[in-house]
Amino acid sequence: MKKIALSIALLSSLLLSACATYTTAAYEQILDTFIGDTEQQIISVWGVPDRTFESGENKYFVYTRKETSYVPGNPGFYQPYWGWPGSPFYSPYYGGTPGYYVNYSCTTTFTFQQGKVIHWQWQGNDCKAPEEKK
């Protein structure tokens, strides 16, 4: 139940804190709270894992989140140039940048031994959570 409340608090803070600072350290603090949890507890908070596999005595749950955002470009401009009075000429096209896509991802893996989380790890450029305000 504590984990569900933590997840709801995390989601609420994501929605309400547009100006919050997001860090990997804050994400790691959240992951630390899952050490010792059972497979069922992880599934109840994180949902069904994207992948599971076993190696020796360990079982692994892998969760992957991917997102792509588009950053629009900036239009360029023509600089008006008056060669002689009353006759407008325009310079070559200046500036402007093309739009581009940014890919965000976060893969979080929980390691279980005897049905309990003993370790976690993350990989990606978007494994962040909002820092708690003090």
Q: How confident is the model at residue 76 (pLDDT cuts 50, 70, 90)?
A: confident
Q: How confident is the model at residue 92 (pLDDT cuts 50, 70, 90)?
A: low
Which residue bears the tokens 């109840």?
44
pLDDT of 5 reads 46
What's the one-letter identity of residue 55?
A: S
pTM above 0.85, yes or no: no
Q: Is the dihedral of CA 41, 126, 99, 96 positive or negative?
A: positive
Of the chain, the percentage scoring pLDDT greater than 70 comes to: 72
**Separation CA 57–CA 97 (nearest Å):** 53
Q: How confident is the model at residue 24 (pLDDT cuts 50, 70, 90)?
A: very high
CA contacts within 13 A on the Cβ side of 1: 0
Question: Is residue 122 scored above 50 in pLDDT?
Answer: yes
pLDDT of 132 reads 80
DSSP class of 50: S
In angstroms, what CA-CA distances link 34 with 5, 13, 39, 60, 65?
13, 19, 10, 14, 18
Helix (H, G, I), strand (E, B) or coil at 105: strand
What average pLDDT does range 53-66 have in this prediction? 97
Tokens representing residue 6 in the block: 């933590």
